[in-house]
Every structure is written in structure tokens, then in C-alpha cells.
Structure 1
Amino acid sequence: MAKGQAQQLSFTKTQIEQSYSFHYQWLDHSKTKQEISFTLAQEGLFERFRNFKNYQNSYAQKTILRRIKKHMQRNPIAGVQIRYRQQQDNYFIEARGLDNDKVANAYQELARLEAKITKEYLKETYYQAFTNHQQNSGIKVNHVSIANDSVADLKVLKPMILEQVSIQNIRKATNFVLSFVQSIPYSTLESRLTSSGAGFNPPLQLLWQNQGDCDSKMTLTAALLRALMPRIEMALIYIDGHAFIGINIPAEAGEVAIEHEEVNYLLAEPTGPALLPLGKLAPESELAINQGHYIAENYHEVITDKSTEPAVLATEQEQ
């Protein structure tokens, strides 16, 4: 094993009634042996993201067009006829009528309706419109939404992780999570904008398969940190062919951080196999950050009743 490379010493999963018990052993950033055991319910493992499939543009367009038709049949526009045409993966909607103002208003209504229905469809299927730093646009997995919907299942790890971290502060807990995720075997990232979700594993599926690409590992890390620290502000950072996270805690000398929408984020690489602690990035990642070749996406949890989630973790400065 090369110096500084993550090493998973063992991984086992065992069925126990309607659940599975997972056990991991690995070496952390200081080459100390770490381990964690937890149990996940079958529902979370196999049912949570049953609506998540590879994105198929032709199917998406047909579904969106069908919903537009249904809405317009229930809410016809007086004096305007609506016609629908579909060619391969594209559809066309045409409004006709004798009153030009009514036709113009109908097109505006259709545009609003299409935008609303498209957004709803993408949300249902865990996808989103995305534009990278080179202004190339496409559809990518909605990692924030998948992370959010994974937190409830991952909360069972919270007491186990806090038990392993002798001093309960954000840095130590984050580095424990980072070394755990970095040690999970890596699979190559498909093109984010053209892969249609191929190769992406939601957090519990990543644990089940014991492998994931950088987008999958980033999402697992974000969900685990959200389960540990419900109120902390995070960001998901995308560069060409790679992804990592940012956490809103103060940077120390020599650490890599960014400011995004007036919030400072200390950066971290969950992917591995390099064992990089919080604030340290791979050279190519740091170069992309320094050149501004990245997109940052907020991951801020909204908690309606803050009294229900005490802040268990503190920063070094608060202790």
C-alpha cells in the first residue's frame, strides 16, 4: 500500500431478521485502526430510493408532455386551440386562435406550466438541471435531495460515531467520517452531465455494495455529517470529473477554503484512496479551486424546531 492511501481492513454484512448488520475496519489518517458497527433496516436499504433510476430523456419528455396535456384538458383556454407534436425526444406545443393577444398569453401560460411540471418531475425522480463551470448544461443527480432523504436512515450511526470520537468536536468527527468513506473502495465516475445517473449509488446502496464513485461518496459524507450536525451549513463542490464537500467552520493555516454566497467553507475530499484530512485537497482539486473552475451548491438544512436537536459537536475554538 502506498503511503497515505486509504485501506479498508475488513467489511462484513449479516442479515438479522428484517435488518442487516454492517461492520467495518480501516486505517485512519494517522494509520490508527478504526472500526464501526451498525444495523440498517431493509426498508432503507432497498425501498428508500425505488423511484431513483437512470434518467431517460425520451421517457421524461413523454411524461412531462402527458402531464401538460392533462392540465390543459382540465383548464382549457377560451378561444385558443392547443396542438401537440412529438419528434423523437422532443415535443412541440402549438397555440392557435383568432385573437393574437390570447395566443401570446397562452404561450406564456404554457411556458410557466412546462417549467413547473419539469421541476416537479425532476424532483420526484431525484434529478436536477445543472450547468458546470464551463457553462455546459444537462441533467444530473440531485445529490442534495438524496442526501436529505438519507439522513433519517443514517441517524443510527450518530451514537456509534460520537462514541468513537473521544473529544466531541466538528473536526475530529468529520475526520473520522472522511477516513471511513475514503477507505470504501472507489469506482470511476461516469460523465456527470451525460451518464444519466449511471454508476451513482445513494448512500445506503453505497454501504451495501461497499463501493462508490466520487459523487456517491460525497453524498454519503454529506448525509452522515448532516445526521451528526443538523444545523451546520455545507456545500457540495463540483469540478470536472470530481466532487468534494465544504463545511462552514474556520480554516486554519495552510487549509483550503472557499467563500460562496457570503459563507466560508473549509473543503474536504471524501473520495479516497488518498487519506486527506479536513482542509486538504488533492493537487488537481486545489488547482481547480484556485482557478475558479468549480460549481458550489448549498446544502443548508432547514430545522423548524431547533430545540429538538441539541448541538452536540463543537469547534476547537468553542472548547
Structure 2
Amino acid sequence: MRRYLVLLLFLSLPIEAQQLLFEKTRTQAGYEFEYRWRDADKRQLSLAFTLPHDKFPTELLQPKAYHPKAAQRRIYMALMKHSSELDPRLASVRIQRRGRDLSWSIRTTKASAKQDIQRQLMEVRQSTMDQYLWENYYHRFESFLGQEGIKPDHMRFANESQPPLLPVSQALYQSLNTKERRPYIRLLLGWLQSIPYNPLDNRLESNGSGYLSPPAVILNNVGDCDSKTTLAGSLLATMLPKMSTVIIYLPNHALLGLKIAPLAGEKTLKLDGETYVLAEPTGPALLPIGEIGPDSERAIDTGMYHFERF
């Protein structure tokens, strides 16, 4: 009996992706890429494309790590500047820094003036932080538990990566000759799942330094789940522009939601009244459309997720 249980367990394990070849060659035309991998049906597939050297802005290739002290310093200087421009006959403001906290005190004889200055300072703090995050490709997010954090702006990375990664989308699209969506999604998933995987750091604790942008995943042939899922969403937006796609964030993981008609047995999730079929681009498990890992399934079933639309 034990032998049968071991056999059943082995048969139930997902097949792991195999990247058989990765070659990157720099030529006068650009970087030439060639891939070969084995899919879940043990078929050997291939993909080749060229990416021009000059199509990658530095911001896309080398995302900056988020530094709270740098953000605080920027806000402090903005608050000091705004305070120095106030009429000293009306009010005086003292800005204080204590660790990661910024506070201020306002001295004035007019209550209405104090309220107005308080509003101004809060607006300066908010707008300065927003500007700092935008310049560094970050934004605020809220976990499924309501915890607030800062993470790379995956949607912005996905959108701005579409033009330079157009040769990749075209190569994937030209590999097939069909008007159906699923073959393209299946091809994309298998290719991404075969790219070597890096574990994801905790989003709430990480400064984003482990995240790789869509072009960087290709150039480095590696990526964590956030990085690979963002790349998948960016390419799908070009390949299948009429299909709605979402990125679904789980604790320390991410996957895709695809607005396609579900087949029997496929795992789906209803978001804002619309049904999405789930898909795992990360690998190394070769999971087909509509099949997700057991940890992902538990998180989805217990509501431990939030999402963003591409």
C-alpha cells in the first residue's frame, strides 16, 4: 500500500519546466536572444528575437531601491521651504524629524490661519511623497489585511515596457497561426515558467531591490513572481489588447487573472463582477491555464489577495 501511495504522490506532483537553451548575443543590431524549453507535453519549443540596444531607458533596466530616509529628507526640505515662505507676521512653523517621523508645530494667534497652514503642510507632504515615488517608479499599495506599504509600480513598468519589448510580443505571436487566445497564453506561460526563478522578498518589508523590470527579466534570464507576472501582463497587453488582465497579489506571491471563458475544472476568481481564469507565470512548475499551486489556491479561497488591472 505504501508503494502505491508514493506512486500516487509522485504522479500528482506538477512537472517542472525545463529551459534547454538560453543564448544572448550582442551584435550591431542589438541583443539576439534564443530560447528552447520543454512544455508539459514534453514538446521542445523555441523562441528567437532581437532587442535593439537603444530602446531601454535606464529607469526600466535599473529600477531604484526605495529608501525611506531619502523620501523623508525630500519631504523635510519641501516643508522647510514652504514654511520659510509664510508671512512671519501671520505664523511661524517648526519642523521636526524624529527617526522616520516628521512633525510640526504652528504658532499663530489666528485659529483660521493655523487650520489653513496645517492643510498646506499636509498637502506639501503628500505631493512631495507622490513625486518622489513617481520619479523612482514606486507607488503606495494596501495588502489584503489593510497594511500600507510601498512597492514598485508594476503597472507603470508593464505599460512603459510595451514599446521596447514589441519584438518579443511579435515573435510569440508569429510562432502561432490562430485567432484563438489560449494558444498564445499557453505558449507565453510555458516560456516564462522555464526562465529561472528567484524567490520574492516580503513586499511590506522589502525596499524593492530584488524586483526586475520586464526588460531586465529577459536580459538577465531570471525573475521572481512579481517580475515575471509583470512581464507576462506587459506582453499580453500587446499580443491580446482586447483581453482584460489583472495581477493578483498573494502573500509573497503573484499570479495572473485572464478575462477568458473558463473551461471545466479551471480555477477562477470573480473580481468586480467579472470572472477571471487564473494562471501562474512564475514556474518552475509547468502549470497550465486555470491551474494554480496549492498555496495560491488556499490564499485565493481564504480571501488573502488584492489585485491591480493592467
User: TM over 0.5: same fold?
Assistant: yes
* Structure 1 residues 152 and 258, CA gap change in structure 2 (3 angstroms): same
Question: 1:216 — aligned with what?
Answer: 227
Question: 1:67 — aligned with what?
Answer: 78
| C-alpha contact (below 8 Å) 1:81/1:97 kept by paired residues | yes
TM-score by length of 2: 0.89
* Structure 1 residues 78 and 254, CA gap change in structure 2 (3 angstroms): farther
Distance, in Å, in 1 between the alignment partners of 2:189 and 2:68 is: 35
Distance, in Å, in 2 between the alignment partners of 1:34 and 1:214 is: 22
* Structure 1 residues 113 and 173, CA gap change in structure 2 (3 angstroms): same
- Any residues of structure 2 matched to 1:211-290 within 5 Å, and which? 211-290=222-301
Residue identity over aligned pairs, in percent, reads 32
Question: 1:127 — aligned with what?
Answer: 138
Question: 1:166 — aligned with what?
Answer: 177
Task: For residues 187-226 of structure 1, give each alpha carbon's deviation from its aligned partner in whole angstroms, at most 9, with x where no partner exists.
Answer: 1111111110021111111111111111111111111111
Choose which of 149, 160, 175 in structure 2 pairs with 1:149. 160
User: Helix, strand or coil: the match of 1:153?
Assistant: coil
- Any residues of structure 2 matched to 1:24-103 within 5 Å, and which? 24-45=35-56, 47-49=58-60, 52-71=63-82, 73=84, 79-103=90-114
User: Helix, strand or coil: the match of 1:252?
Assistant: coil
| C-alpha contact (below 8 Å) 1:126/1:141 kept by paired residues | yes
Task: For residues 269-313 of structure 1, give each alpha carbon's deviation from its aligned partner in whole angstroms, at most 9, with x where no partner exists.
Answer: 0100111111111111112111111111122xxxxxxxxxxxxxx
Distance, in Å, in 1 between the alignment partners of 2:153 and 2:172 is: 26
* Structure 1 residues 114 and 48, CA gap change in structure 2 (3 angstroms): closer
Give 1:77 shift: 9.0
| C-alpha contact (below 8 Å) 1:44/1:204 kept by paired residues | no
* Structure 1 residues 203 and 63, CA gap change in structure 2 (3 angstroms): same
Task: For residues 232-282 of structure 1, give each alpha carbon's deviation from its aligned partner in whole angstroms, at most 9, with x where no partner exists.
Answer: 321110111111011111212111111212332211101001111111111
| C-alpha contact (below 8 Å) 2:63/2:212 kept by paired residues | no
Distance, in Å, in 1 between the alignment partners of 2:69 and 2:287 is: 41
Question: 2:309 — aligned with what?
Answer: 298
> Unpaired runs of 5+ in structure 1?
300-319
Choose which of 128, 135, 149 in structure 2 pairs with 1:138. 149
Structure with max Cα Rg: 2
User: Helix, strand or coil: the match of 1:172?
Assistant: helix
| C-alpha contact (below 8 Å) 2:248/2:254 kept by paired residues | yes
| C-alpha contact (below 8 Å) 1:15/1:21 kept by paired residues | yes
Question: 1:180 — aligned with what?
Answer: 191
| C-alpha contact (below 8 Å) 1:250/1:266 kept by paired residues | yes
Task: For residues 94-138 of structure 1, give each alpha carbon's deviation from its aligned partner in whole angstroms, at most 9, with x where no partner exists.
Answer: 322110111012112222232222222212211122221222222
> Unpaired runs of 5+ in structure 2?
1-12
The alignment covers a number of residue pairs equal to: 299
Does 2:19 match 1:8?
yes
* Structure 1 residues 160 and 123, CA gap change in structure 2 (3 angstroms): same
TM-score by length of 1: 0.87
